[in-house]
Every structure is written in structure tokens, then in C-alpha cells.
Chain A
Amino acid sequence: GQQVMQIPQYQHVQEGEDFTTYCNSSTTLSNIQWYKQRPGGHPVFLIQLVKSGEVKKQKRLTFQFGEAKKNSSLHITATQTTDVGTYFCAGPHPGSNYKLTFGKGTLLTVNP
């Protein structure tokens, strides 16, 4: 089964509202990655977090890696219609740094 659990599965917001998606792992992760997939498109790498407690920002997006390196979150401030898509977290499979396991993703829709 999936190593990383992601919630919520869906989120619908009004433009201008904030959005957060959460990623949880049963095992400690060496790193966690976030991807965005626009409808009909392919996943595009957003960021990689490596350090315990790390926080990184990209404009309106804030990424956090938990202190125990078992959870992560992506927060979008003041959503825009361009934020629409599915956001995935991904981490190494337990026992193998050669396999990247993806969460099931959170589909974000934004009402203008």
C-alpha cells in the first residue's frame, strides 16, 4: 500500500481563501518532495525538503517538514485560479532510496 497518506482528497475554495494539504508517513523520511499536476498535464516538481523542521516558501506557497520527518504540509495563501490542480507529496519507499512513493494527492479547485 501507499507509504504516504495525504489529506484531504479534495478541496474546493473561493478565490482568495487559503488552502492546506497534509502528508503523513508511518516511517521517518530522508526527504519529502511536492509536485503539482494541472488537469490533463503531468506532475511538475515544486520543492524538496530534507531537514527536520524545515520551512520553505515559494511566493504564496509555504512548505513545512515536521520535526520527526514523518509529516509535511503545503499551504497556499490567497488562492488564485492558477493554483487549480492536484498536489502530490512523495517520499522514498521504506528500505529503498531507489523508489519514490507518491501520496494519492489533493485536488484543489478554485471558484473565481
Chain B
Amino acid sequence: NAGVTQTPKFQVLKTGQSMTLQCAQDMNHEYMSWYRQDPGMGLRLIHYSVGAGITDQGEVPNGYNVSRSTTEDFPLRLLSAAPSQTSVYFCASSLGQGGNQPQHFGDGTRLSIL
């Protein structure tokens, strides 16, 4: 049972490049979400999904796109990377509503934008 798997673990991009951060879970969780973590800022919610085909914005959605075509996968897309998007990105999943259920986190993707 792998839990929540994120790839890649590290990535360096140039400003303006695009990329997709992958997230997959094998726990049959309906709820999935993406957070970014910056020094002194805690974890901030980017986007979330309550099930396949349903996504919504979190606190800091600008510059990011998501889709949820299957229960298992929830990729995060950066269409045109900016230095302000340098951060550690965590994917999380849970049963039911995200605000009321324990979150299972992946190991994170450390992203640097030059």
C-alpha cells in the first residue's frame, strides 16, 4: 500500500517553462488537495477536489491548474512558471470532506524556478 505518491521529488525549471506535478493515491480517497509550503508561511491550499470531475480553488490558486479524471490521480499544472512559485508542493488525500478528515500527505516535490 503506497499511500500518496508524488513525482518528481525535485525539479528545477526556468521562468516561463511549464510542467506537471503528479500525485496518485491508492486508498480510494474521494478528497485530494494540493498545498504549497514556504518558509514561515505554513501550508497553503492551492486547489482541491472532492471527487473525479470536480475541482475547486483554495487560498492561492493563481498560476496553477488542476484536473481530476480518475479517483486515483490529481495532477497540478504550472502553465508558465514564475520564480514566486519556487516552493515545496505537497499533495494530500482523505476520505470525505477535507476539513473534517485526517489528511495523508505525499513526500512532496521541491520545485525551484530560476
Query: What residues make up the interface of A, taking CB atoms closer than 8 Å to B?
Result: 2, 6, 9, 30-31, 33, 35, 41-45, 48, 88, 90-93, 96-105
Contact = CB atoms under 8 A, between A and B. Distances in A.
Contacts, number: 67
B8 interface: no
Interface in B6-54: 31, 33, 35, 40-45, 48, 50
Interface string B73-114: 000000000000000001000000111101111111000000
Interface of B: 31, 33, 35, 40-45, 48, 50, 56, 58-59, 90, 97-100, 102-108
Given A42-B105, A42-B108, A96 B99 contact: yes
Q: Could you tell me the dominant secondary structure of chain A's interface residues?
A: strand
**B33, B43, B56, B105: which has the most chain A beta carbons within 10 Å?**
B43
Given A98-B31, A103-B42, A104-B41, A42 B99 contact: no
**A43, A48, A98: which has the most chain B beta carbons within 10 Å?**
A98
